Amino acid sequence: MTPELGQLALILALLLALAQGILPLIGAWRGNRALMAVARPAAAGQAVFVAIAFGILVWAFVHFDFSVRYVADNSNLALPWYYRIAAVWGAHEGSLLLWIFILNVWTVALAAFSQKLPEVFASRVLAVMGLIAVGFLAFIIFTSDPFGRLLPMPGDGGDLNPVLQDPGMTFHPPVLYTGYVGFSVAFAFSIAALLGGELEQAWVRWARPWTNVAWAFLTCGIVAGSWWAYAELGWGGWWFWDPVENASFMPWLVGLALIHAQAVTEKRGSLRAWTILLSIFAFSLSLLGTFLVRSGVLTSVHAFASDPRRGVFILAFLTIVVGGSLLLYALRAPKVAGGKSFKLMSRETVLLIGNLMFAVAAAMVLLGTLFPLVGDALNMGRISVGPPYFGFLFPLLMLPVVLLLPFGPFLRWGKSDTPILKQVLLRAGIAAIACAIVAAFFVDGQPRAIAGVASLVWLGVGVALYAAKRWREMPRGRRYPAEMAGMLLAHLGVGVFVAGVLITESLSVTSDVRMAPGQTQHIAGYDFRFDGVHQTTGPNWRADQGVVTVTRGSDLVGVMHPQKRTYLRGQVQTESAVDAGLFRDLYVALGEPMDTANIEGAWSLRLYYKPFVRWIWGGGLLMMLGGFTCAADRRFRIKRIVESETVEVLLVQETHA
Amino acid sequence: MRAFRGSAPCARMGLAAIVPRAQGALLQTFLVAFLLLASVLHAQAIEPMPFTSHAQELRFQQLTAQLRCPMCQNETLADSNAPIARDLRNQIFQQMQQGKSDEEIKQYLVARYSDYVLYDPPLKAGTVLLWFGPLLILLGGAGVVLMAIRKRSRTATAAENLSDSEPAEHGDDW
Amino acid sequence: MSRLLPFLGFMLLVALFGFGIWWNTGHDPQAIPSPLLNKPAPAFALPKLYEPTVTVSKSDLLGKPYLLNVFASWCVECEVEHPVLQAETSTLGVLLVGYDYKDAPEDAKRWLSEHGNPYGLLIADQPGQTAIDFGVYGAPESFLIDGKGVIRYKHIGPLTADVVATELKPAIAAVLKESP
């Protein structure tokens, strides 16, 4: 399978993307149905060629085609087949190909499921997706071609970075990208709405399920990345506020605000301008993330090969897409505040407050992430912004959200009365305080752990109270529409997440110890007995493997096997052993032998006890489930029949606009 | 970039950046030999230290987690395998034994490695924008939100269209 | 007008990023600016590499400027730098002091016999303690110290012919002009 065919496929895809991007927009502007009708076939064609290109690269990896430089750099003869496939997106060029592949998946889905949308609107949406594709395809073809040859062909390749040789790392980029790229759909909807002057008031209802699904994927991707960092990077951390983590967190926060704003706009018709602006920001931050990891502008974990030429290209693309859309917003955003009004005590208000906090949090993360760059620009020396900054301000900003969350569902649209709220406050509040007092005895008075328990109870009881109210008041079958069930799941997930974070951060125990075979260390009620180290091998590594037997009292908890692997090219990787549990993780990392000549002797080890750490990802997964459940609501799938006369009217209006 | 000197210990560096490329037999042998040497020199972040109490161990862990490794700049001093990180950890431990406070230890490091080594940006003239920026944004945003609510409230009182809920769910306010 | 605010804010961001890309092309993003510039070098007392019983201290070197070059046998980029040092040692105009960092003396001596020895003076810091006082975090690094013992210039990373010509030599010239 000649790699050059892959390059050809990409070029053809670019041409089709150009057609998809430009022609339907002209068609929509001019009322030319033939041009508008180009959108779907062009999108399908582009998808086919991108899929071919992607397939060719996968083939090259699976069949050890080291004449392709990218394959030679990222795999070798001993790399197992599943990691060879993952290696496709293990470095810059391939990950961009993955990006455009996923963009095409979303576009095809959009093309397929938008048959009921008015033609003018749908063609604009698909055209915007096409223009985005043009940018990425051009970037790949002109600066980041994964199909470049390496001649003479080497006998064996380099290696995929060992930290990437892990199931979590295989899963994390595709899922994360599905989220990032998915925000392009909400973006495309908003641009189409701006271009068309929002003649179709229902466009937000169409955008909602797409946005919810994208956000859910992003949530899953972030959770996967965090879990992988914990399992693979060896030091028990799950979030480092590293620039690239922040680059995925900012669109997540803005996407969260967007989901809630869309709900308001769909049901009440208000806050339309905010919804449009938030969807532009969400996608812009996705693109910004792409820029940050590839331009080398920030010191980070994920620094892909940083090349100023690539940086300039992406920056130009970013300027055109985001600058253009913000300019369009300035010119065409609804100027008259439409939709239904609301008083201070209303659901709209708390949603606005929540959205304000999410937006400020995203701005804070942006500020902290970019501040080192500002420091360089203003010649203030190199400034470092890390967890002490983000970890202090973020919980502070989220505190109002956590406090207001139980009230949200109980408040009515437009105007609400206070008695029910007082009831919620009392019940959830007393439950939270009572549990906090009890918890204080179990957690040695640690304030953060107590706060974690209190938050969980506060939020959990709030969710339970509302679920009970629906059970009592609504007839069977209409108690929990999917959208509401999703909301309850997600809000519960917030409580689980907060509890996990606060408890693990305050009650974790870490200890570096020197142990000879047979010695036991006692940590948090568990006994870790070190049973020595022996050698073992894997497909492309050999390792020193330790055996650690964990008991609690007289019960055997498990036998753990931490490893220090040496890969083919000499890279050394610590594979920690994790004994996972619902309420605690036990974690062992192998250090160094005390005597390098005698690996059967004593070693240094790091032992961790991490309570409730799985609740962090469990909470995240609940939020993800909530997002997917919401999107499945029947209401979004009810067919909206658009009369052909309406289309004619629209076309006439469009032509005269 | 001073890649090779630090690449072996810097575990979290780069998705593809630092894997040496074997582009010639001689170079390949050399690189493997170097990396073997590097792994012998491979200082470890796991280093049992003779703490006198659990509280002292906790203090050490918290302090080193707030400091950036000058070599493996994506990692904290607590997590880094770089030789300089090991030296600095030992230095910090000794200073703790000598009774120095956290502030004094941080100052010691800043005097030698600049503010960059602190993950907690000190509040100075240059970082005022960093520390108070979010507050300013919050206040600005809150002002906008308040104005929006006021405007909506007023039209709401005037127009009395509050009682009609979304009819889609048979009077259900959801 | 307020609708233009997001656009204007974004363009500011673009300017910042543009600066970032430009800045990156000229600067090593990993280099930490030294807080010791134009401050007195730390006091030190280190043994000579070839005569370990003889100690060289900071006061011994006062009076004339010198270039302190931190190197090690385990340092790959030092091999890149070494030919440049050998070529320039006579044209620098100041004493070239080799600072062997965290190295076993035998390894260092072997490395020097393989790659050549351009240094006028060689001192060894095997424990690496003094290096911390200098703010060293790896090799190679080079310090230009003037006659009064003040650090006037620091370069992180290998000295290339380009860096020597455009930065180091002018710095040396400036220092020499003050105290001929």
Show which of residues 72-91 on chain B sit within 8 Å of chain A, judged by CB atoms: 73-74, 78-79
* Strand partners of residue A516: none
What sections of A118-242 are H helices per DSSP?
119-143, 167-195, 203-232
pLDDT tens digits along A74-131: 988 888 888 989 999 988 899 999 999 999 999 999 999 888 888 999 999 999 999 9
Which amino acid appears at position A288 of this protein? L
**What is the H or E stretch that residue A573 is in?**
strand A572-575
CB atoms A341 and B152 under 8 Å:
yes
Q: What is the CATH number of domain B3-117?
A: 1.10.8.640
For the record, the structure tokens of A260 come out as 């809630």
Looking at residue A638, what is its pLDDT? Answer: 56
For residue B139, CA distances in Å to A356, A382, A565, B132, B136 come to 10, 29, 52, 11, 5
Closest Cβ–Cβ partner in C34, C133, C157 for B2: C157
Number of domains chain C is built from: 1
Domain boundaries, chain B: 3-117, 125-161
For the record, the structure tokens of A52 come out as 């071919």
> Measured between CA atoms, how close is A531 to chain B, in angstroms?
18
Dihedral, A550, A552, A554, A557 alpha carbons, nearest 10 = -50
d(CA A265, CA B49): 59
CB atoms C21 and A284 under 8 Å:
no
For the record, the structure tokens of A560 come out as 């753990």
Dihedral, B41, B42, B43, B46 alpha carbons, nearest 10 = -150
| Closest C-alpha among A222, C32, A374, A572 to residue B72 | C32
CB atoms C6 and A280 under 8 Å:
yes
Dihedral, A366, A367, A369, A370 alpha carbons, nearest 10 = 110
Taking one residue from B and the other from C, the number of pairs with CB-CB distance under 8 angstroms is 64
pLDDT tens digits along A334-343: 777 778 889 8
Chain A residues closer than 8 Å to B45 by CB: 235, 606
Question: Looking at the complex, does the CB of residue C38 fall below 8 Å from at least one CB of chain A?
Answer: no
For the record, the structure tokens of A148 come out as 């470049």
pLDDT tens digits along A505-541: 999 999 999 999 999 999 999 999 999 999 999 988 9
**What is the H or E stretch that residue A563 is in?**
strand A563-567
Mean of the per-residue pLDDT values for chain A?
90
d(CA C18, CA C21): 5
Question: Looking at the complex, does the CB of residue B156 fall below 8 Å from at least one CB of chain A?
Answer: yes
Chain A residues closer than 8 Å to B153 by CB: 341-344
DSSP code of residue A319: I
Looking at residue B27, what is its pLDDT? Answer: 35
DSSP-assigned letters across all residues of A353-398: HHHHHHHHHHHHHHHHHHHHHHHHHTT-------HHHHHHHHHHHH
Q: For B131, which residue in chain A has the nearest alpha carbon? A: A389
Chain C residues closer than 8 Å to A314 by CB: none
Show which of residues 123-162 on chain B sit within 8 Å of chain C, judged by CB atoms: none
Question: Looking at the complex, does the CB of residue C7 fall below 8 Å from at least one CB of chain A?
Answer: yes
**Dihedral pair phi/psi, residue A122, rounded to 5°:** -60, -40
**Dihedral pair phi/psi, residue A222, rounded to 5°:** -65, -40
> Measured between CA atoms, how close is A379 to chain B, in angstroms?
10
pLDDT tens digits along C33-79: 899 999 999 999 999 999 999 999 999 999 999 999 999 999 999 99
Rg (CA), chain C: 20
Looking at residue A151, what is its pLDDT? Answer: 85
Contact A256, A358 (CB under 8 A): yes
CATH number at residue C141: 3.40.30.10
* Strand partners of residue A606: A512, A589
Instruction: Evaluate if residue A486 carries a pLDDT over 70.
Output: yes
- Lookup result for tokens 């009392």: A426
Closest Cβ–Cβ partner in A92, A343, A635 for B156: A343
pLDDT tens digits along A620-652: 999 999 999 999 987 777 555 444 444 445 555
Which amino acid appears at position A267 of this protein? K
Contact A352, A268 (CB under 8 A): no
d(CA A591, CA A577): 12
Looking at residue C33, what is its pLDDT? Answer: 86
Over residues A570-576, the mean pLDDT reads: 86
CB atoms A604 and B172 under 8 Å:
no
For the record, the structure tokens of A271 come out as 């806050």
Question: Looking at the complex, does the CB of residue B25 fall below 8 Å from at least one CB of chain A?
Answer: no
d(CA B123, CA A490): 37
d(CA A588, CA A605): 7
- Lookup result for tokens 């179709």: A200
pLDDT tens digits along A404-457: 999 999 999 988 888 999 999 999 999 999 999 999 999 888 999 999 999 999
Chain B residues closer than 8 Å to C137 by CB: 70-71, 82, 84, 113
Looking at residue A163, what is its pLDDT? Answer: 79
For the record, the structure tokens of A46 come out as 């582009």
CB atoms C132 and B112 under 8 Å:
yes
Contacts for A525 with CB less than 8 Å, ≥ 6 apart: A552
CB atoms C3 and A291 under 8 Å:
no
Question: Looking at the complex, does the CB of residue A146 fall below 8 Å from at least one CB of chain B?
Answer: no
Looking at residue A438, what is its pLDDT? Answer: 95
> Measured between CA atoms, how close is C158 to chain A, in angstroms?
20
Contact B111, C151 (CB under 8 A): no
User: Own/partner pairs for A445-450, CB < 8 Å, 24+ apart?
Assistant: A446/A506, A446/A507, A447/A506, A448/A502, A448/A503, A448/A505, A448/A506, A449/A502, A449/A503, A449/A506, A449/A507
Looking at residue A631, what is its pLDDT? Answer: 94
Over residues A284-291, the mean pLDDT reads: 89
Question: Looking at the complex, does the CB of residue C19 fall below 8 Å from at least one CB of chain A?
Answer: yes
Question: Looking at the complex, does the CB of residue C32 fall below 8 Å from at least one CB of chain B?
Answer: yes
Contact A282, A251 (CB under 8 A): yes
User: pLDDT below 70 — which residues of chain C?
Assistant: 1, 179-180
Chain B residues closer than 8 Å to C43 by CB: none
Instruction: Evaluate if residue A22 carries a pLDDT over 90.
Output: yes
For residue A437, CA distances in Å to A403, A440, A464, A551, B12 come to 18, 5, 21, 31, 41
Looking at residue B142, what is its pLDDT? Answer: 96
Interhelix angle A167-195/A324-332, nearest 10 degrees: 40
Chain C residues closer than 8 Å to A330 by CB: 3-4, 6-7
Chain A residues closer than 8 Å to C23 by CB: 376-377
Burial B146-165 (b: 16+ CB within 10 A, else e): eebbeebbeebeeeeebeeb
Q: For A523, which residue in chain B has the nearest alpha carbon? A: B54
CB atoms C6 and A318 under 8 Å:
no
pLDDT tens digits along A149-165: 988 888 888 877 787 88
Looking at residue A231, what is its pLDDT? Answer: 87
For the record, the structure tokens of A60 come out as 């090259």
Using DSSP's 3-state secondary structure scheme, residue A111 falls into: helix
Domain of C153, in residue numbers = 37-178
What percentage of residues in chain A have a pLDDT greater than 90?
Answer: 69
The larger pLDDT score, comparing residue A486 to residue B73, is at: A486
Side by side, the strands of the sheet bearing C95-101 are C121-125, C95-101, C66-71, C141-145, C151-156
**Dihedral pair phi/psi, residue C25, rounded to 5°:** -70, -25
Looking at residue A380, what is its pLDDT? Answer: 81
Q: For C31, which residue in chain A has the nearest alpha carbon? A: A382
Contact C124, C71 (CB under 8 A): no
DSSP-assigned letters across all residues of A13-61: HHHHHHHHHHHHHHHHHHT-HHHHTTHHHHHHHHHHHHHHHHHHHHHHH
Of the listed ranges A49-63, A327-341, B40-54, the least confidently predicted one is B40-54
Chain C residues closer than 8 Å to B114 by CB: 32-35, 135
Dihedral, C11, C12, C13, C18 alpha carbons, nearest 10 = 90
Q: Is the ipTM of this complex over 0.95?
A: no
Please, which chains are in contact with A (at least 3 CB pairs closer than 8 A)?
B, C
Q: Residue B102 burial (CB < 10 Å; 0-12/13-18/19+)?
A: middle
d(CA A144, CA A150): 15
Could you tell me if residue C54 is inside a domain? yes
Chain A residues closer than 8 Å to C21 by CB: 295, 297, 308, 311-312, 315
| Closest C-alpha among C124, C149, C139 to residue C56 | C124
Beta strands A520-523 and A526-537 are antiparallel
For the record, the structure tokens of C178 come out as 């003050």
Looking at residue C70, what is its pLDDT? Answer: 95
Looking at residue A303, what is its pLDDT? Answer: 47
> Measured between CA atoms, how close is C60 to chain B, in angstroms?
23
Could you tell me if residue C42 is inside a domain? yes
